[in-house]
Amino acid sequence: MSYAPIPMVPGPVALHEDVIAVLGRDYGSGQVESDFLCLYDATSRSIGKLMGTKDDVVLMTGEGMLALWGALKSCLKPGDHVVSVGTGVFGDGIGEMAESFGCIVEKVSLPYDCSIRESDLAAVEEAIRRVKPVMLTAVHCETPSGTLNPIGLLGKLKKDLGVPLFYVDTVAGLGGAPVHMDEWNVDLMLGGSQKCLSCPPSMSMVGVSAAAWERMKEVNYQGYDAILPFRTVRTDGRCPYTPNWHGVAALYAGTQAIFKEGMDAAFARHEAVAAQCRAGLAELGIKLWTAPDAVNAPTVTAAMIPEGFTWPEWKEALRRHGLICTGSFGPMDGKVFRLGHMGTQAQPYLMEQALDAIAATLGK
């Protein structure tokens, strides 16, 4: 049973039934049972398949932000130069995170209602040539803005200009849209369990290239969110701290549900429900936040709160009709509401119910 009649929060999403089933089991200690190591290995490989990589994938206990912080601190030192490309709160936020522990960040901040365009690449290239960064950062799916970025374009720049590391947040797209870590020249691909994988917010995942491992050895960061200590988990069977067997089991169940459906079919389902959402909102006279030339995310839609409503009023009015959704952040705060059609929530019948609830709230 879902937490809401019509769940449309863009994470954590309603859990998949197979995930619920494995969470209800009793497991032994992952520190002493070989079964856990087998599961960790299988889950790591499954996430790698979704990420489009043959590189190592680390599984850490903690929601997606753990991966975002851990990858930065594991690969950067105070004084290192970073170029961050931002089309939203998280893109610019990654730059602020790096600044917080002493990195020198060159921000290429783009409009929050747009995706990265080919015409934006000149500014990114200029910044890279000027500051010669250790790392280039970007976000695949900007959840607060409802946009999707063409990471492959940045990955080509990274390779052509010789940037050592490319860091990409795919928390809100992994499992709901195609990602290609190896093809896009990504060194650090970050994921979280609570969105398209339909799991609790208990696990984060990091795809790590060989170059990133070498950099981690040089930096030698050893905090709780450090990635380097996980390098040998699959070979020596020892985690740096107590592993979350339930979390890994849930993550494995979430990936297998996608594989059972078929990755292409799952991606097509997300695209179809997203299109259904945008068309339905247009029929109701609700405008999207995104610019006409933006690439709208298949996992979340950002729309303008109708005139005559504040966000608290709109939220509570929708809730009275059974629809649970969220507002947004930064410049979208108080202006935008978001529908999270990701994972288990990317279903035509649920979107139909959501649109009916919006129509009823508007008296249509």
Q: Give 3-state DSSP helix, strand, coil % of the chain, rounded to 5.
A: 45, 15, 40
Contact 198, 14 (CB under 8 A): yes
**Identity of the residue numbered 71:** A
Alpha carbon distance 265, 218 (integer Å): 42
Q: How far is CA 217 from CA 21, 212, 220, 279, in A?
A: 39, 9, 5, 50
Q: Residue 299 in contact with residue 80, Cβ under 8 Å?
A: no
Classify 328 as helix, strand or coil. coil
Burial (0-12, 13-18, 19+ Cβ within 10 Å), 42: middle
Cis amide prior to 312 (ω within 30 degrees): no
Q: d(Cα 231, Cα 216) in Å, to the nearest integer?
A: 10
Q: Of how many residues is the chain composed?
A: 364
**96: DSSP letter:** H
Burial class from Cβ neighbours inside 10 Å (0-12, 13-18, 19+) for residue 201 reads middle
Tell me the CA distances in angstroms from 346 to 7, 63, 115, one per residue in order: 10, 21, 22
Distances (CA, A) of 63 to 146, 193, 194: 20, 7, 7
Alpha helices, DSSP H only, in the chain? 17-23, 34-51, 64-75, 89-100, 121-131, 151-161, 210-219, 233-236, 245-261, 263-283, 311-320, 348-361
Beta bridge partners of 339: 301
Cα gap 232→292, rounded to integer Å: 47
**130 labelled ligand-binding:** no
Binding positions are 338
Binding positions for substrate are 338
